[in-house]
Homo-oligomer: A and B are copies of this chain.
Amino acid sequence: MDSAPKVVGIVAEYDPFHLGHKKQVLKAKQSADYVVCIISCAFSQRGSAHMFSTHTRAHMALASGADLVLGLPYSFGCAQANRFAMGGVSALNSLGVVTHLCFGVEEELLPVLGSATDAIKSKEYDKLFVESLSGGVSSAKAHGIALSQLINSEDSNSLNAPNFILGLCYIKALQDIKSDIVPLPISRRGDYHKGNDISAPSASIIRKKLLTGDTDFLKTALPPESYGIAIKAYNEGYYHKPQALDYALIAKILSSNSEELTNTPEISEGLEYRIMDCALSANSRDTLISLIKTKRYPYTRIDRALSHILVGLNNENCPDKPNYVRLLGFRNSAAPLLSAISKDMPLISRPARNKDLMMKEDMFSEQLWQIGAGECPKRAYEEQVVII
């Protein structure tokens, strides 16, 4: 390449990779040489384990156009919006090759993105955010509340739309780390996650349908090349069953003491006692969350906290920024991009051989994922880098 290539980064989950995801990748590709996706691994940003495996999801993304797919370390992949965004953005920045960051923003909120971006730079915003958060709402809602007090929006209620908030978090993270990466917001339908648009259903609706055995629905909701990968995994039973680890979680909580729980991210201010107490009355993760949930402790915070307990994540193992990323897969044609990546950011493709790189939670969370798929834990170490 004569000049530095244009490389667009995307932070995502792809569980599974659907038509909306493909649309975004193709849009990014229109003006880019390469598209690099960084995804959460065994456990999702919202908390519980992904349905499809880390490598299956990477494979789906590559098949539908991504050039390189990386994996976010567990403590960033399973984290509230701020940390998830900081993990993805700073990892992409550390690669030294990414020039743009593409993210979808609800169509109706695109007009206020500019003023919202200005707003989140202010100290007033930070103050309002922390105030809202300590009032006991979710991270996304706290962002929405802070924003609604600083900008004029005709639709202030929708300011806490998940993708809009994530977008703002990306922009804020880029600013915080003084990155040269250019934000590239693109329009997405606001009702996507609510599932009103049956021509492009959300990933959660696709998973729900698939768990009822509806493979026809899967076929219409995924790009054909991703569908082939997803249906193969599904037919082989190679997917995490939603309740598979419920008893393991409850047993783990019952055998933990309050000190261990207090030292777990997202658990503080007495939540540890509430979790231990509610575990006595729960025979499933769903029941447990519904028992713990209050205005002060929103669902996703609890969901993530429970995964952290199960995985054994503690506050000491949570660096501010990822110090490695996982190499999940790439297109052969992306070889020049791979070789241009900064050597300062380790790309780990064989985790078992890198025990010194704080990958304990990463690999244990992958083992847990495999157990919940009915597989032997060692399969977590056997997954090959996907090359197409």
Contacts and interface: CB of A to CB of B under 8 A. Distances in A.
Interface in A337-388: 364, 367-368, 371-372, 374-378, 381
A244 interface: yes
B280 A378 contact: yes
Interface residues of A, number: 27
A247 B372 contact: yes
Given A245-B247, A247-B244, A248-B248, A374 B255 contact: no
Interface string A235-263: 00000000011011011101100000000
A116 to B, nearest CB: 42
A248 B375 CA distance: 14
In the assembly, how many copies of this chain are there?
A: 2
A312 to B, nearest CB: 6
A281 B378 contact: yes
A181 interface: no
A205 to B, nearest CB: 27
B250 A251 contact: no
Interface string A66-104: 000000000000000000000000000000000000000
A150 B324 CA distance: 66
A312 B255 contact: yes
A280 B250 contact: no
Contacts of A245: 247, 251
A368 B283 contact: no
Contacts of A378: 280-281
Contacts of A281: 376-378
B250 A371 contact: yes
A282 interface: yes
Nearest to A360: B255
A255 B372 contact: no
Contact of A247 (B247, B280, B283, B364): B247
A279 interface: yes
B280 A377 contact: yes
A310 interface: yes
Contact of A279 (B244, B310, B377, B381): B377
A86 to B, nearest CB: 27
A377 B247 contact: no
A280 B376 CA distance: 6
* Top 4 closest pairs, chain A to chain B, by CB: A248-B248, A280-B378, A248-B251, A281-B376
Given A280-B377, A282-B377, 20 more contacts: A244-B247, A245-B247, A245-B251, A247-B247, A247-B372, A248-B248, A250-B371, A250-B377, A251-B310, A251-B368, A254-B367, A279-B377, A280-B378, A280-B381, A281-B376, A281-B378, A282-B376, A283-B371, A283-B375, A283-B376
7 contacts: A245-B251, A248-B248, A248-B252, A280-B378, A281-B378, A282-B376, A283-B374
